[in-house]
């Protein structure tokens, strides 16, 4: 399927660290639930296009609510090689999403949370804009450039997801980087701060994770 660069997707999962309110959604945004994320969709009053998962974290009341509204379910075996969120990401890509935002993808289980960073890495490597939202943080992985509007003074950390990230330069940060090489295992780029509302990062090689 050809990718429509204007299409975005919001994927809701069942992790406990979620924003207080849903993000602003562009018209036509795909809303996809990974199993128990259907409860978050109900809380936020967002009707999902589909609910994907093995139903181990989906309560019966929420299931019946969405069944009553005609939302389809893609039920998968509990014994499988991918998490429900991974399957939801694949579905979004198949539907042509060029930007994917995740909520409920952090906080309940450390293994799943770390695994979801791997999903951001994979999306960045494929050139897909990505965000993972928690109550107090925004995370995004990228391999060429990154731009964001932030509150001045916000913490901004850059974490290498590859052994080296080369030629990193920043704009709008209190401690600027100019052609720096960041190496996995170092804390050099942790806990920087925004000196302006608009920040940007560029790099020549590697994958970085921005944590705001």
Per residue in 77-109, pLDDT (tens digit) is 888 889 999 999 999 999 999 999 999 999 989
Q: Give the C-alpha separation, 41 to 73, whole Å.
A: 14
Whether 17 shows a pLDDT value over 50: the answer reads yes
Per residue in 30-46, pLDDT (tens digit) is 999 999 999 999 999 99
Query: Do 31 and 72 touch, CB atoms closer than 8 A?
Result: no
Give the per-residue pLDDT at 3: 42
Report residue 164 as tokens. 């080296």
Residues constituting the chain: 212
Whether 1 shows a pLDDT value over 60: the answer reads no
Residue range 33-61: mean pLDDT, rounded: 95
> What is the location of CATH 2.60.120.320 in the chain?
145-211
Query: What is each CA distance from 32 to 10, 48, 68, in whole angstroms?
Result: 6, 5, 17
Q: Give the C-alpha separation, 108 to 208, whole Å.
A: 24
> What is the location of CATH 3.40.50.10240 in the chain?
8-140
Report residue 37 as tokens. 């994320």
Residue range 22-27: mean pLDDT, rounded: 94
Query: What is each CA distance from 71 to 2, 64, 68, 144, in whole angstroms?
Result: 25, 10, 8, 37
Give the per-residue pLDDT at 5: 47
Just give the CATH number of 145-211. 2.60.120.320
Percent of the chain with pLDDT over 90: 92
Judged by DSSP in three states, 84 sits in: helix
Superfamily name with CATH number, domain 8-140: Thiamin pyrophosphokinase, catalytic domain (3.40.50.10240)
């Amino acid at each position: 399927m050809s990718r429509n660069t204007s299409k975005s997707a919001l994927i809701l999962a069942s992790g406990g660290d979620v924003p207080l309110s849903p993000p602003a959604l562009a018209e036509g945004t795909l809303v996809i639930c990974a199993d128990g994320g259907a409860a978050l969709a109900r809380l936020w009053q967002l009707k999902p296009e589909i609910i994907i998962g093995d139903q181990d974290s989906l309560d019966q009341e929420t299931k019946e609510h969405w069944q009553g509204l005609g939302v389809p379910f893609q039920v998968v075996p509990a014994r499988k090689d991918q998490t429900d969120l991974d399957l939801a990401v694949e579905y979004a890509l198949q539907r042509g999403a060029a930007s994917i935002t995740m909520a409920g993808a952090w906080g309940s289980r450390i293994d799943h949370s770390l695994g979801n960073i791997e999903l951001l890495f994979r999306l960045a490597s494929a050139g897909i804009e990505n965000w993972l939202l928690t109550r107090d943080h925004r995370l995004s992985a990228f391999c060429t450039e990154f731009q964001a509007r932030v509150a001045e003074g916000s913490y901004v950390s850059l974490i290498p997801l590859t052994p080296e990230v080369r030629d990193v330069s920043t704009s709008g940060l209190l401690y600027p980087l100019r052609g720096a090489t960041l190496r996995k295992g170092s804390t050099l780029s942790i806990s920087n701060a925004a000196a302006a509302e608009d920040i940007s990062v560029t790099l020549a090689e590697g994958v970085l994770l921005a944590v705001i």
